[in-house]
Amino acid sequence: LTKKFTKGCFLCKISQSPKFAPVQIHIQQRLTSNTFRTSINDQQPPQSQSNQHYARRVVSNSELMASIIGVASSPFPTQTSHLLPSRSNSIYSLIQLKRYSVRRLLLLRVNCSSRQVGDAETESESKVVLPDTPADTGISAYNWCAALGGIGFLETSYLTFLKFTNSEAFCPVGDGASCGNILNSSYSAVFGVPLPLIGMVAYGVVAILGIQLGQKNRPLGIGEANGRLVLLGTTTSMAAASAYFLYILSTKFTGEFCPYCLASVLLSFGLFVSSIKGLGFQEVQKDVGIQLLIVLLVVSTLNNSYSDSQPTNTGSAVAEMEYFTTEITSESTPFAISLAKHLHSIGAKMYGAFWCSHCQEQKQMFGREAAKLLDYVECFPYGLKKGTSMIDACQEEKLEGFPTWVINGEVLSGEKKLSELAALSGFNMKEELTEAK
């Protein structure tokens, strides 16, 4: 009985109580009797064998449960003779008991199912109440970080290769000379480290973090929460640096166009927005102080780096240095010698400072013999001391950095390749050789 009515609400408890001993006797009689099944079968219309078996089983169970409930709810449980139906009134008893049993069973089932629905509602409410994590809305954002970081890594890798091989950049849009002027200017390095190399490392870190966070892994072994903060800090520093360089492009390189620089700016701002979306605006608001500190640190670092290579009119130098010369060790090629002669013939001048590393690199490109043919102007011939300013010749040209070329009245800032100088000055190697003959 316990196994058969396990899903009932309280029938199993009835069978274990000595108070309901008549119920147990009645159950045994009903299980061994076929009176009601025979009576029901006489009243039902013909059906298939499977349907008749199902109807007999349902009616028998309903009768049995109704009888049990009737005994359990009777105020006189010991008087069970009225509940035990006889053969003469089996149909009438069946109808009464079945009507009563259905009413009681519906009540019991509603009570049981209501508790299940309540549990289900509680579970659903608990699921709804659960806070939405940034990862639920940040998977696509982290994928964007991985994609944009990969594109930036490829771009900066190409520019780094050009920097270390002294190759010309391919500029599909705009003037190729302008693109090279910006990429080889004094702003292309931070404390002597090539800027594309720094960008390559930053883009690589962002791409790795984006992939790991998108796959719900531990990024770089520092945990998911710390990985999000590292990603936000990295993209914040990149966006701050891009804003700084965008200002430099608009003020120092007016009229010149650099597609690689603008592409890097767009990628940096895109990564910054994606990292904010992945972390969530509420979490970002908690770290606003850290972000502002990162921005100030980046801007101050760049200012200190480029102030060393910028000319100073007030002479307020950070460190005092005596004037010195640097030996040029490279050999000059015939092309470099011919170009140096041509630049001298048209009155082109190179302005620089003895402590400027880019100026020394420019001289090494020409070589020892050709560098002597250049019209080089030293802006600090007396050394770099407090209160010392550039000579008048450098101040008149309003130099923005070192080295600076003045070719045909055009002021060009930054280190230049020999091919660029030849194109800017109108040098033709074949014509020079013809005139020499």
Span of 52-61, 222-231, 382-391, 398-407 with lowest mean pLDDT:
52-61
Task: Please state, in angstroms and rounded to a whole number, the distance separating the CA atoms of residues 225 and 222.
Answer: 8
Q: Which helix (H) or strand (E) holds 142?
A: helix 134-165
Task: Please state, in angstroms and rounded to a whole number, the distance separating the CA atoms of residues 267 and 259.
Answer: 12
Section 284-302 average pLDDT:
87
What integer pLDDT is reported at residue 381 of this predicted model?
87
Which stretch, 29-38, 129-138, 340-349, 399-408, has highest mean pLDDT? 340-349
Share of the chain above pLDDT 70, in %: 60
Residue 248 structure tokens: 């430099």
Section 136-152 average pLDDT:
78
In one letter, which amino acid is 324?
A: F
* pLDDT averaged over every residue in the chain: 71
Predicted confidence band of residue 192 (pLDDT cuts 50, 70, 90): confident
Span of 18-27, 105-114, 234-243, 420-429 with lowest mean pLDDT:
105-114
Predicted confidence band of residue 142 (pLDDT cuts 50, 70, 90): confident
User: Residues with Cβ < 8 Å from 51, sequence gap 6 or more?
Assistant: none
Q: How many CB atoms lie within 10 A of CB 291?
A: 20
For the chain, the straight-line distance linking the first and the last C-alpha, in angstroms and rounded, comes to: 123
Task: Please state the pTM of the whole predicted model.
Answer: 0.45
pLDDT higher at 299 or 18: 299
Span of 1-10, 236-245, 348-357 with lowest mean pLDDT:
1-10
Q: Closest Cα to residue 135, out of 280, 20, 24, 17?
A: 280
Among positive and negative, which fits the CA dihedral 289, 273, 249, 163? positive
SS3 350: strand
Predicted confidence band of residue 157 (pLDDT cuts 50, 70, 90): very high
Yes or no: say if 5 and 12 are a contact pair by the CB < 8 Å rule: yes
**pLDDT, tens digit (0-9, with 9 covering 90-100), for 64-91:** 444 444 444 444 444 444 444 444 454 4
Instruction: Give me the domains of the chain, ranges plus CATH numbers.
Output: 11-129 (no CATH), 134-307 (1.20.1440.130), 334-436 (3.40.30.10)
**pLDDT, tens digit (0-9, with 9 covering 90-100), for 113-122:** 444 444 444 4
Section 323-337 average pLDDT:
90
pLDDT higher at 222 or 231: 231
**pLDDT, tens digit (0-9, with 9 covering 90-100), for 229-271:** 888 889 999 999 999 999 988 888 777 788 888 999 999 999 9
Residue 392 structure tokens: 């008048």
Residue 266 structure tokens: 């767009």
Predicted confidence band of residue 433 (pLDDT cuts 50, 70, 90): low
Section 271-296 average pLDDT:
85
Task: Please state, in angstroms and rounded to a whole number, the distance separating the CA atoms of residues 37 and 91.
Answer: 10
Task: Please state, in angstroms and rounded to a whole number, the distance separating the CA atoms of residues 89 and 84.
Answer: 10
Q: What letter would DSSP give residue 199?
A: H
What integer pLDDT is reported at residue 137 of this predicted model?
45
Residue 330 pLDDT > 80:
yes
What integer pLDDT is reported at residue 250 of this predicted model?
86
What integer pLDDT is reported at residue 80 of this predicted model?
42
